[in-house]
Structure 1
Amino acid sequence: MAFPLPKDESNLDSAITSGSQWDAVILVAPDHKGLDNLLLRQTIEAHQRIDARVGQEAILLISSEIAGGRLIYAPTGALNRDYDDVRSFADAAKKAIVMARDAGARKPLLVVAGVPDSRLYQYSLEVAYLGACQALWQPLEAREALGEESTEPVECIGLYARGKLDLTWLQAVEAGRRVARDLCGTEPERMSPPKFAEYCEQTFAGSAVKVRVIADDAQLRQDYPLLHAVARASTHVERHQPRVIRMEYQGEGEPQRTLLFAGKGITYDTGGADLKVDGHMAGMSRDKGGAAAVAGFMQTVARLKPKGLRVVAEIGAVRNSIGSDAFVADEIIKSHAGTRVRIGNTDAEGRLVLADLLSHLREDAKGATDAKLFSIATLTGHAARAFGPYTAYVENGPSRDHQCAQKLVDLGDLWGDPGEVSRSRREDFHFIRPRSKADDVLSCNNAASSVTARGHQFPMAFLVRASGLEEHGLSSAEPLPYMHIDIAGSGVEGGDWQHGMPSAAPVVALAARYLR
């Protein structure tokens, strides 16, 4: 699995000149007027005299004195407004690296200058590198069909830094993001449930992360009844049969912290019996973005091998197919936790998958040291409607007491992986209340989440009740911090679920919080 490796460069004067190891120089800066490097400033000023675009947009400048004869100058624009943030460096780096690649560069040097004297921009160079890698990624199907060398020709990216960079951490994070993009962005036959499991087995073979795949239909029916119901119409098609993928990491020494993740891996969401119509099915192969992010985070864990940390993840890889054996609204299905769930709409399938996974992880959390539980999913259109391209963090009482979401949001801002703190309220639990003694909880209503009041918050209440986590609130004997992470708005760039590039959110924020 190749991606452009980060390499540090400490001598700018020699690195940017012709004859160095680099074949292009990328300058990302608010402007060039404050540059302290004479060669860069003079090259830019000479071009600016004949091209008014210089300094206004990313542009390729030609100079025989510059490494590779190429200087790509990508201005960030203003950074002094209240709403500016470090993503401006990533955005500029994305444009510049594509320009460098298309010009033939294979080993560009990335120089970030003019960084504001603010803690909000302290990781500008690293964020620019991650942005460049994001722009260079090509889909797994393209790499397999055409070869990685032709589709992703950039070999490495030099990073000019005045101080020391943690390249090991940065490389591990990008390795995780690449796994997440591959799993989320691959078409539904190439990444069907068995293929998803196979990718994980291959990725973690020989690593510190142990993978176990549950494929037996009888076991899934018994141990993951809600998940199996979602998959019911797919079980007669061998290549679409469901999988539960369990990954475990045990760091050296006694565990000081425990992280538990549930990932929604709907490899294709037709809506089930409540069929998606009017073109809304396109892009539903990306409904596995939450599971992809979980696997990506595990890849970063495998690379870094942190001591004193235990991480357990369960992914439900399922196809929500239609057919004569499809589950339907009005069914009552008992979850792994013993909760009787009345199905409100079959297109709210992700929360059913997650509830059983969370119930198993809840058992892992009992007695574990400093346990924190997460679910990650492309769950609701409401999250995208409410927060746009930002990850939504909805937490229970113990998690809020530990300020888990706020800490993730704060670090996400520093690392260009932003999110918003949301709240679980009493109205959410009232919404999913049982309407009769025949059931314990209602999975959902029949309106789109985007037009339902609190459409991304009430599913978290369902998850708490259906998984048994309601027994682990603040006032319980064993409080368990739990956070639901909805990436329906942040999981792909530009909100284009069919064609947009997977973002790998929130891998960077999680890694910054728990792996640094």
Structure 2
Amino acid sequence: MYKYVQEFKLYENIFIEPNIQSANYDGVIVLLYPPELNVGLPRQITSFVDSLSKIDNHIHKVPTVWSCDYVSGGRLVLSPTGKVTPYHDVGVIRDAVKKGMQRALDAGMKKPLLVITSVVDFPDGQLVGILGALEALYVPLQIREIKDTKNFIHIGFQSDEKVTDVFERVVRNALALEHSRIVARDIAGSDPERMAPAKIVEYVQNSFAGDSNITINVIEDEAVLAKEYPLLAAVNRAANHIERHKARVVEILYNSSNPNRVTETLLLVGKGVTYDTGGADVKISGRMAGMSRDKSGAAAVAGFMKACSILKPPHLKVTGVLCLCRNSIGEDSYVADELLTSRSGKTVRVTNTDAEGRLAMADSVFKFTEIAAKELNPHIYTIATLTGHAKACYGNHTAAMDNHSAKATNHSSKLQFSGFRMAEGIEISTVRSEDLAVNMGKCKGDDLLQYDTDAKSRNHQLAAGFLIKVGGLEDTNIKYTHLDIAGAAGAPPEEPTAVPILTLCHAHKVLI
């Protein structure tokens, strides 16, 4: 295990604790649900909390800390969900738990016990709640590397006053998912030098060291990249003079322990632009700040692969590709008006160097289209912080777009359902004929435009249309879904969200 990975281990520093009065903890965190949900409190504190409600109704608005002789450590954190309506999802539990854990840490607790009750309205509420607690404990990689910042000694989780196999499975799933999200957060959240392409390769290789079900292949030769990934190579041209900034394509393969049980093949392409200056079409007015998060798509792919390596789904064969490059400014920058030839042989006219993400992924999508034709039940994904338009449309939710084959199976609807269950908002966008047509070339010899600068709307859909056309997915029966996480990935000063790892794990039955 990579020495800088934040670790949670069941029965080492994570425990399932049936006794709310155990001497092993220095405080207890309890969620307060609205009365209409009829979620009971632990019997030891029911009267105590009822008395507090009569003294100060504020306990139903913000997390509070109380001296309480009836719980472990003599300290009780009450963290309210607030009002829960039919329009809320399980995110209300995640947010309440996260705030409660943060309040416990602020109070000086190092050994908190979280009471996480099952709620009928939210079937995955315990899992998502535990993930909220673990998320509150996350320390960014670059801080962990500077000093010992361990913010807890051990954590306890309680469901009922007994240990059950069902709850233990929930905890094990949560720990596996959180380890995968840590990988994604570390890559996405670290600065553009700490996670330059070469540094991401090093981190990924170390993170998967010892995982016998994972194979990693790194393509870094400049000549090979120029030949096999020409659009990615064009984006990275200005960065090639600095070794650590040179482009890399990282292929991560997960193999089932029993190939005969494989029923689905997933092929994921992640945008890994380690820093996006906008290139020759440079970003202005402070819009460059935060562009180190433009690698969040590749980070999510790496995290999903980590989840597969831990949970070992026997029915999946998965390949993830991290398209790592840096959109720099320099004398060798690619510029608007250039005519590039893609891996597919289609020519692409550059119109805006700040629309680099679709070029970074395009050749890998086409490669996967060729591979998918030989695989069992394939599904191709692209995951990217691709357009500001997606954020303008859907805020901090992911835009999901299917090609015709995936749409025939209502795949984005399934993702939306899984996102609702796992507190990752998914909004469905439909790719229409005009979203493909708008990418057609206008000058003689142009097969495709990188981006139609005259387009006034549907910018995130036309980006999906470009990837469908350049990837050779327009007329095939291969399922393809594009996930634009521009608004969902998390912008500074917030930590990366690691979306859509939870949704993908739920939708593709990775959980044990």
| Fold agreement, TM-score > 0.5 | yes
TM category (shorter chain) comes to over 0.9
Could you say what secondary structure the match of 1:281 adopts?
coil
Q: Answer with 371-380 or 96-105: which moved more.
A: 96-105
Residues 1:365 and 2:372 aligned together:
yes
Partners of 1:432 and 1:343 in 2: CA distance? 11
Query: Could you say which residue in structure 1 is the equivalent of 2:134?
Result: 133
Partners of 2:42 and 2:94 in 1: CA distance? 22
**TM-score computed with the length of structure 1 as normaliser:** 0.92
Post-superposition shift, 1:308? 3.3
Residues 471-496 of structure 1 show CA distances to partners (whole Å, capped at 9, x for unaligned) of 41xxxxxx10000000001101xxxx
Distance 1:352 1:94, change over 3 A: same
Give 1:197-346 correspondences, 5 Å limit: 197-207=201-211, 208-253=213-258, 254=260, 255-346=262-353
Percent identity among equivalent residues? Answer: 38
Letter in 1 for 2:493: H
Give 1:406-417 correspondences, 5 Å limit: 406-417=413-424
Cα pair 1:339 1:465 within 8 Å, conserved: no
Give 1:167-206 correspondences, 5 Å limit: 167-206=171-210
Post-superposition shift, 1:367? 1.4
Post-superposition shift, 1:113? 4.2
Post-superposition shift, 1:382? 0.7
Partners of 1:482 and 1:37 in 2: CA distance? 47
Residues 1:507 and 2:510 aligned together:
no
Residues 1:457 and 2:456 aligned together:
no
Partners of 1:56 and 1:154 in 2: CA distance? 29
Aligned residue pairs, count: 493
Of 5, 27, 43, the match for 1:24: 27
Residues 1:124 and 2:125 aligned together:
yes
Partners of 2:194 and 2:228 in 1: CA distance? 27
Letter in 2 for 1:446: T
Letter in 1 for 2:407: R
Partners of 1:480 and 1:8 in 2: CA distance? 44
Post-superposition shift, 1:158? 1.4
Residues 33-56 of structure 1 show CA distances to partners (whole Å, capped at 9, x for unaligned) of 863533212222343454442223
Cα pair 1:101 1:154 within 8 Å, conserved: no
Post-superposition shift, 1:453? 0.5
Partners of 2:290 and 2:370 in 1: CA distance? 34
Letter in 2 for 1:499: P
Post-superposition shift, 1:214? 1.0
Give 1:436-515 correspondences, 5 Å limit: 436-446=443-453, 452-472=456-476, 479-492=477-490, 497-514=491-508, 515=510
Letter in 2 for 1:487: I
Could you say what secondary structure the match of 2:382 adopts?
strand
Partners of 2:408 and 2:284 in 1: CA distance? 42
Cα pair 1:3 1:155 within 8 Å, conserved: no
Residues 425-460 of structure 1 show CA distances to partners (whole Å, capped at 9, x for unaligned) of 01111211111331100011337x9xx300110001
Residues 1:348 and 2:348 aligned together:
no
Residues 1:435 and 2:442 aligned together:
yes
Query: Could you say which residue in structure 2 is the equivalent of 1:147?
Result: 148
Query: Could you say which residue in structure 2 is the equivalent of 1:476?
Result: none
Partners of 1:57 and 1:468 in 2: CA distance? 52
Q: Which runs of 5+ in 2 are unaligned?
A: none
Letter in 2 for 1:200: V
Post-superposition shift, 1:212? 1.2
Residues 1:77 and 2:71 aligned together:
no
Post-superposition shift, 1:126? 1.1
Partners of 1:467 and 1:505 in 2: CA distance? 24
Residues 67-114 of structure 1 show CA distances to partners (whole Å, capped at 9, x for unaligned) of 1111111111122x2312211111111110011112222332222348
Give 1:110-121 correspondences, 5 Å limit: 110-113=114-117, 115=119, 117-118=120-121, 121=122
Residues 1:99 and 2:99 aligned together:
no
